[in-house]
Amino acid sequence: MPRLFISLFLGALLALVPVIAQETPPNFVILLADDLGINDLGCFGRKDQNTPNLDKLATEGARFTSAYAAASVCSASRAALLTGQSPARLNITTFLPGRSDRASHRLMAPILNNNLPVGVQTIAELLKAKGYATGAVGKWHLGGKGHQPTDHGFDEYFAGKANPGAESPMGGKGELGHADYAVKFIERNKAKPFFLYLAFDNPHIPLAAPAKGIEANAKAFHPTYAALVESLDVACGRVLQKLEDAGLAKNTVVIFASDNGGVHVSELKESPPTFNAPSRAGKGFLYEGGIRTPLIIRYPGHLASKVIAEPVVLGDLTSTFCALAKITPPSIQDFQDLSPILFNSKPRADTRVLCWHQPHYMNQGSQPGGVIREGDWKLIEFYETGRMELFNLAKDPSETLDLAAEEPARVAAMRGKLEAWRRSVGAKPMVANPQFNRSLWDECFVKFDPTLIKAAATSEAMRPLQADWRKVMNDASTEGGNALIYLEAKDAQVKATKMHYEELPQKDTLGFWVNVEDTASWKFVAPLAGKYRVTVLQGCGKGNGGSTVSVETVASKCEFVVEETGHFQRFVPREIGQVELTAGDNTLTIRPLKKAKSAIMDLRRVILERIDQPGPMRSAFMKPPAVKTISLTAFLPYPETE
C-alpha cells in the first residue's frame, strides 16, 4: 500500500507540471528554375522532355494547376517570392536593370529600385532569427555589392557559374554544380533546421548542353532545351536524394517552381526554346504563358498527394513559411498563407483577387500593362492606350476571346479594383516618350503579334518567321520624330457647373458631363510643332451615345461623335482626328457642341502624337492582326482547339 500511495502521489504531482511538446521545426527547400514554362514537365503534360524526378515529386505532394509568378520576368518575381511583398510595392517591376527606353516605346519606364530595399525582411531573415541555417545557391539578380544574399539574411551564398560550358561537369547552365553545393549545405546543417534557396540558371538562354544530352533528345521540339531540362531534373534529383539519405525528407517542405513562364520567341541567337500552349504567349507577357508557373509542394506525412486548382502566387510562400515555422510574419504582406489550401479539404469560401503591375516593355516583345484576376475572370489593361481585354479563363484558357464589349460593367468594376490596388501599393506610373518613333513601334508591336505564335514541328523551323521582327526589336535607337503627349483627366482645368474630375479609383475620369457649356482644358508644352493625331480614352453608357464634341487648339480643331461603350467607365481609345500644335506652350480644350442624350461622356485621357507627314488616318490601337503560323504538332500536351 505505501508503494502504491507513493506511485499515485508522484503521478499526480507530475500531472501538475506543464508538458510542452517540442515539435521539430520543418526544413524548407526551394528549387527554383529560371524561365521554365508551365508545361515543360511531364507531370504538367509535356511529352517530349524527360523529367522523372520532378514527376515523382508531384505524385508525393501537391501539384498546382493555377499557380502564378508575381511578375513575368525574373527579378520582380524573385523579389516577391523572398519578401511576400508585391513587385509594385518594392518598385522592382522588371528584371534588373530593365530594358532600356528606346524610340520604339510609346511610354518611358519609371525609375526602379536596383536592389531589394533595405529594411524589407526576406524569408531568410525571418527564419534565421528563429535559429535556422540559411543558404542561397545560384542566381540572385536582386542587387550587387552591399545587396547580396548575405546582406539579406542568408548565412552563405554560392553563385556558381551560369554558363560554364556545354560539356562542363557542372552542367551546361551550372545546375549540377549548384546541386552539388546544395547537397553539401544539407550535410553540414542536417542537425539543425535549415532553409535552402536553390535558384538555378537553368534553362535560361543562352542554351548550352552536352552533345550526348542533345543527341538523346534529338526528337524534342528543341533538343538543346530538352537536354537542359533533363539535366535540371537530374540536379533536383540529387538534392531530393540527399534529403532521403540524411533522413530529412519527412520533415522538409520542398517547393519546386519557375520564376516566370517559358520563352516562346526567338531571343539573342536562340530559336524559340519552348512553347506554353494552351497558355497564350510566354515570358515577359501578361497573358497566362508569361505569368503561369509549374508549382509542386511536398511535405510528407503532413500534405497528402493532391492536385490544387485554386489560384495561388509564389509570393504566398513567405506567409506560408512563417505559418509552418510558427513565426509572426512581417506587418506588410501582399500575399496569403497557403496552409488552409494545403491542409484543409474545403476550398476557400471567398474569391481571391490577384493583381499585377508591369510598367515596362520586355525583350520578348510585350507591352506595359496591368492585370487583375478575380475568380475565373481576367482583365488586362494596356498602359499605352488604356485599351482593356477581358477573358473567362474557365471557358477560354488560351485567352482567345475578348469579352470586354460583351461585359462592360464587369470591365469597369474590375478596372476600378485594379486601380485601387495600384494606389494601395504605390505603383509607379509611366510617362509619354518625347522621342517616340511611330514606324519602329508599328514594326515591333503592330505588324507582328508575338502573342499569337504557335509552335512548329521544331524550334528551328520557327526562326525565319521571326527574323525581321527580332531585328527591329533589338533596335536600341532612342531618337524619333513622333513626339507623344498624354493629357490626364486629373490634370484638366475645368470650367463647369457639374462636370468635374472624379478621383475614386473606379472612376478616375472627367464625369458628370451633362451640360454642353462645361469644358475641360489642358495647358502643356509641345516639344515639336506640327500636326498631331488625337486619341481620346472615352466611355459612354448604353443609350447615351451620339453627342458631338470639339477638340480645339489655338490653330485648329477637330470634331468627333461620342460612341457608346456599354458603360461610362468602360473606356475605349479612339483616334478621332488631328490638330496643329506650336513648339512650346499650348492649350487644348474639349468642348461639347451638341448633347444627344442625358449625358455626353466620361473622359479619362487625351493622347497627342506628332505626325511626320500628313496622311490618311488609321487606328493604331485596334487589336493587331493575327500572324501567319504553322500548325501545332504532336508534342503539344493539349489539342489546338482547347
- CATH code of residue 382: 3.30.1120.10
Our measurement of the distance from residue 579's CA atom to the centroid of its chain's CA atoms, rounded to an integer in Å, reads 37
2 within a domain of the structure (yes/no)? no
Q: In the 8-state DSSP scheme, what is residue 176?
A: H
As a three-state string, the secondary structure of 320-382 is HHHHHCCCCCCCCCCCCCCHHHHHCCCCCCCCCEEEEEECCCCCCCCCCEEEEEECCEEEEEE
pLDDT at 344: 85
45 within a domain of the structure (yes/no)? yes
Q: Does residue 389 share a domain with residue 304?
A: no
Question: Per this entry, what is the length of the chain?
Answer: 642
The span from the CA of 594 to the CA of 67, in Å, is: 51
CATH number at residue 125: 3.40.720.10
Q: Does residue 242 share a domain with residue 264?
A: yes
Q: Does residue 217 share a domain with residue 71?
A: yes
357 within a domain of the structure (yes/no)? no
The span from the CA of 64 to the CA of 293, in Å, is: 9
Of these residues, 43, 74, 236, 355, which one is catalytic? 74
The span from the CA of 441 to the CA of 445, in Å, is: 6
Q: Give residue 104's identity as a one-letter amino acid code.
A: S
Which residues have C-beta within 8 Å of that of residue 35, sequence separation ≥ 6? 74, 203, 204, 205, 258, 259, 260, 261, 262, 263, 273, 283
The span from the CA of 628 to the CA of 364, in Å, is: 18
Of these residues, 105, 141, 152, 357, which one is catalytic? 141
Each residue's pLDDT tens digit, 512-556: 999 999 999 999 999 999 999 999 999 999 999 999 999 999 999
Supply the range of the domain harboring residue 466: 438-473
Q: Does residue 337 share a domain with residue 382?
A: no
C-alpha angle 498-503-509 in degrees, rounded to nearest 5: 65
For residue 77, which phi and psi values (nearest 5 degrees)?
-65, -45
19 within a domain of the structure (yes/no)? no
Each residue's pLDDT tens digit, 437-469: 999 999 999 999 999 999 999 999 999 989 999
pLDDT at 641: 27
Helix (H) or strand (E) holding 607: strand 602-610
Q: Does residue 54 share a domain with residue 167?
A: yes
Q: Does residue 311 share a domain with residue 402?
A: no
326 within a domain of the structure (yes/no)? yes
Q: Does residue 596 share a domain with residue 499?
A: yes
The stretches in the chain having pLDDT less than 50 are: 1-2, 4-6, 8-10, 12-22, 614-642
CATH number at residue 520: 2.60.120.260
517 within a domain of the structure (yes/no)? yes
The span from the CA of 285 to the CA of 453, in Å, is: 13
The span from the CA of 604 to the CA of 606, in Å, is: 7
C-alpha angle 378-380-381 in degrees, rounded to nearest 5: 145
Contact 259, 35 (CB under 8 A): yes
pLDDT at 3: 53
Query: Three-state DSSP class for 568?
Result: strand
pLDDT at 130: 96
Q: Does residue 447 share a domain with residue 500?
A: no
Name which of 88, 148, 138 is nearest 118 in CA terms: 148
Name which of 229, 223, 214 is nearest 459 in CA terms: 223
Q: Does residue 534 share a domain with residue 400?
A: no
Active site residue 302: no
Q: Does residue 463 share a domain with residue 426?
A: no
Active site residue 74: yes
Q: Does residue 530 share a domain with residue 422?
A: no
Q: Does residue 581 share a domain with residue 451?
A: no
Domain count along the chain? 4
